[in-house]
Amino acid sequence: MSFFCKWVSFLLILHLLLLNSCLISSDGFSQIPKKFLDLAKRDDFFDWMVGIRRKIHEKPELGYEEVETSKLVRTELDKMGVSYKYPIAVTGVVGYIGTGQSPFVALRADMDALSMQEMVEWEHKSKIPGKMHACGHDAHTAMLLGGAKLLKEHEEELQGTVILVFQPAEEGGGGAKKIVEAGVLENVSAIFGLHVTNQLGLGQVSSREGPLLAGSGFFEAKISGKGGHAALPQHAIDPILAASNVIVSLQHLVSREADPLDSQVITVAKFEGGGAFNVIPDSVTIGGTFRAFSAKSFTQLKKRIEQVITRQASVHMCNATVDFLEENKPFFPPTVNDKGLHQFFKNVSGDLLGTENYFEMQPLMGSEDFSFYQESMPGHFSFVGMQNEAHSPMASPHSPYFEVNEETLPYGASLHASMATRFLLLDSKTSSPNQSYKKDEL
């Protein structure tokens, strides 16, 4: 072997050593995301994340009941040597990696499933009848554990503390609100959250600055009349007809009262009452959801929903009571991305995936309880693609045919780890840490 060859192999070995041990000082700041992605794509790392995701998928748990999922998260954190607080917000787990000192940056995953029956036939299908991970929260939990492992392996290089938030009850339960109320995110400079999407290819991401997802609320109304024989309507007060008119009138709120350029939705998704072909029932229960992008439109909708239901019911001599279910289903504020954090996200995801794989989104009427974090600290929410060319189109979230392309797990894990690492590097350098990340005025 010539001297030259020896020198080259020495450099190669040195390079490999640096690749595994040191992220920042070897090739610099912009290489951090790609290095994390390479690490997360290693066979053993990938298989480990897939194993976690499948285990969670087989045993879906609803909001605030994530007992086994939470235990699995803690077991994995224990194995990594990551310290955590538990229980936070009933079943939530909050982990810590880094110096233990400020600045603090938080990464969030949700753990809950939906009450629906999985219709996909595969080896790791849900083993719990009537419950299913149909929104990808099993993948989100695996991705954040992946991110945690990457960060823990490079803990010495972190310029601050990463707080890992494994929250319960995103699907309507407002687990994020309870996490914020628990006070564990005090002093956090920024929080980042991801959601898988079937709208983008593998290795693609999307988001936008400002309003991204709508604020949402739920309502339920009982419309009471007087039951009787279906052939003798004159002796009854028909709540089915009253409820039908209520539903039609509710549809006029968005079409006739809202600014056409200010997107809003009212959907009645529940209609229960009666049961026989020849009996007018005593009462009918209807329920649904309403969405808007500003607090003003949201409040106005809420007020009018109540008025329309009670007054329209009384047109038909029925009585109605309206319940906005805030105890169990708190109103979600709109998800609004911080301007500075959005530029930061584009920078980091650009270095990870190439700027051509970032896609600007239109706002969606869907909602996320991530917005509760954004009410009390600057936050950024984005989507990570998982389309599979060979298997498309993929079912949308909340479909019983929903599937996750597990190839997306390394992208989520490395995005988490890079966002946190880079944020701490920037934040620890500025004298006034989060000056540039002040929450946008809506």
Which window, 76-84, 127-135, 183-191, 431-439, contacts Zn ion (CB under 5 A)? 127-135
Would you say 171 is a known binding-site residue?
A: yes
What letter represents residue 339's amino acid? K
CB of 13 to Zn ion, least distance (A): 44
> Taking CB under 5 A as the rule, does residue 135 contact Zn ion?
yes
3-state secondary structure of 49: helix
Kind of pairing, strands 92-98 and 83-88?
antiparallel
Query: In the structure encoding, which two tokens stand for residue 403, read together?
Result: 């599937």
Residue 135 interacting entry, from ligand NAG, Zn ion, none, C-beta within 5 to 8 Å by type = Zn ion
Taking the C-alpha atoms of residue 172 and residue 158, their distance in angstroms, rounded to an integer, is 35
Closest CA to 193 of 151, 150, 147, 131: 147
> Taking CB under 6 A as the rule, does residue 410 contact ligand NAG?
no
Single residue of 159, 167, 189, 289 touching ligand NAG by CB under 6 A: 189
> Taking CB under 6 A as the rule, does residue 299 contact ligand NAG?
no
Q: How many residues bind Zn ion (CB under 5 A)?
A: 1
CB of 325 to Zn ion, least distance (A): 17
> Taking CB under 6 A as the rule, does residue 318 contact ligand NAG?
yes
**Half-sphere exposure of residue 172: CA atoms within 13 angstroms, side-chain side:** 17
Q: How many residues does the chain have?
A: 442
Q: How many residues bind ligand NAG (CB under 6 A)?
A: 20
> Taking CB under 6 A as the rule, does residue 83 contact ligand NAG?
no
> Taking CB under 6 A as the rule, does residue 337 contact ligand NAG?
no
Single residue of 156, 186, 257, 262 touching ligand NAG by CB under 6 A: 186
Q: Match 């944020």 to its residue by tokens.
A: 423
Would you say 22 is a known binding-site residue?
A: no
CB of 326 to ligand NAG, least distance (A): 25
Closest CA to 341 of 430, 210, 429, 162: 210
Single residue of 344, 370, 372, 383 touching ligand NAG by CB under 6 A: 344
Residue 434 interacting entry, from ligand NAG, Zn ion, none, C-beta within 5 to 8 Å by type = ligand NAG
Q: Are 387 and 394 in contact (CB under 8 A)?
A: yes
Residues 197-236: x where in contact with ligand NAG by CB under 6 A, - otherwise, as a string? ---------------------------xxx----------
Exposed e or buried b per residue across 110-147, where buried means at least 16 C-beta atoms within 10 angstroms of its C-beta: bbbbbebebebeeebebeeeebbbbbbbbbbbbbbbbb
DSSP 246-302: HHHHHHHIIIIIS-TTS-EEEEEEEEEE--SSSEE-SEEEEEEEEEESSHHHHHHHH
Residues within the interface to ligand NAG (CB under 6 A)? 183-184, 186-187, 189, 224-226, 237, 318-319, 340, 343-344, 347, 377-378, 432-434
Residues within the interface to Zn ion (CB under 5 A)? 135
Binding site members for Mn(2+) = 135, 137, 171, 195, 398
Binding site members = 135, 137, 171, 195, 398
